[in-house]
Amino acid sequence: MAHSICTSEASGKLACFQRLWRTLLTPDIDPRTRLERLFEHETAEFDLEYAFLSNIDLENQTERFEVAHGTHESLQPDTIVPLSETYCRKTIADPEGTLAISDAPAEGWGDDPAYETFGLRSYLGTTVSVDEELYGTLCFASTASREDPIVDEEKAIIEMHCRWVEYVLTVWDGASIRGPYTNTIQESAVSKAAIDSVMDALGTRTRREILLSLLGDADEVSLATLERRADGKNVRLRLHHVALPKLASAGYIEWNSDSGTVFKGPRFSQVEPLVRSLKEYHGGFTG
């Protein structure tokens, strides 16, 4: 069965992402535990038994499983296997960096070393990079074939999970995932109030459109542009008296009605990662 995000309406998709990001941004819990919780939740969503984050050593052609979920005897933390015997060797070589296999024997993988060694009939993996250098892979897999073929939206979902993992590995130099809990994580944890504020900010299409317009190098956007992009009745009223004041109060934007311009606010960086993920996945869920 496909991931519920793929079968939900726009509001349902956003609710799914809210649950996911509450898992990934929960304060006072180290990122390794958050990743383990993500694996537990997403293996059920993907209808796949196992999940793991690996580190790949190209010089020695080995793969080490750092965090793993499931009871597969070969997919356990700290287990090192030859890269040549894994599907991940194909994942990191793929131009898109993501590989999906719904039914290995039916798709021509029956005599592949990875299938023969691990017995995985289905696999969804993506490449993890840190500072533009290969780190490893983030994968979900099962010894059973997927009843429904893995679709492109599910590939996009695992790529979004990968962006969070890459962020953690970059900011904390991997220690929070590979090693024990440290005080650095406590100091960097996002508060519950901040999480609620971010989720609330993304609760309507109008507010999402405003935040999406400020991504990247776009430090400002005109009110006229936002009015043209907005749908429905009373666009100007909704912008000036509801959406803009709410986002400004949260610190995500600043706006000047005289100049007709909206700017990034002092706390825009807090909401930016999730806004960017929504844009990469499905156009910001503007439908």
Domains in the chain with CATH codes: 4-186 (3.30.450.40), 192-285 (1.10.10.10)
Cβ-based neighbour number of residue 198 at 10 Å: 24
| H or E, element range at 23 | helix 10-25
Distance between first and last Cα of the chain? 24
- pLDDT at position 232, please? 63
- pLDDT at position 8, please? 58
CB-CB contact of 209 with 230 (8 Å): yes
Cβ-based neighbour number of residue 104 at 10 Å: 23
- pLDDT at position 182, please? 38
> Virtual CA dihedral for 142, 143, 144, 148, nearest 10 degrees?
30
3-state secondary structure of 56: strand
CB-CB contact of 223 with 239 (8 Å): yes
- pLDDT at position 125, please? 98
Burial of 204 (0-12, 13-18, 19+ CB in 10 A): middle
- pLDDT at position 254, please? 92
Cβ neighbors of 237 (< 8 A, separation 6 or more) are none
The amino acid at 57: D
Q: Which residues of the chain have pLDDT under 50?
A: 173-175, 180-190, 282, 284-287
Cβ-based neighbour number of residue 231 at 10 Å: 10
* pLDDT tens figures, 154-207: 999 999 899 889 888 876 544 456 554 333 333 344 455 666 677 777 778 888
- pLDDT at position 29, please? 76
* pLDDT tens figures, 60-70: 999 999 999 99
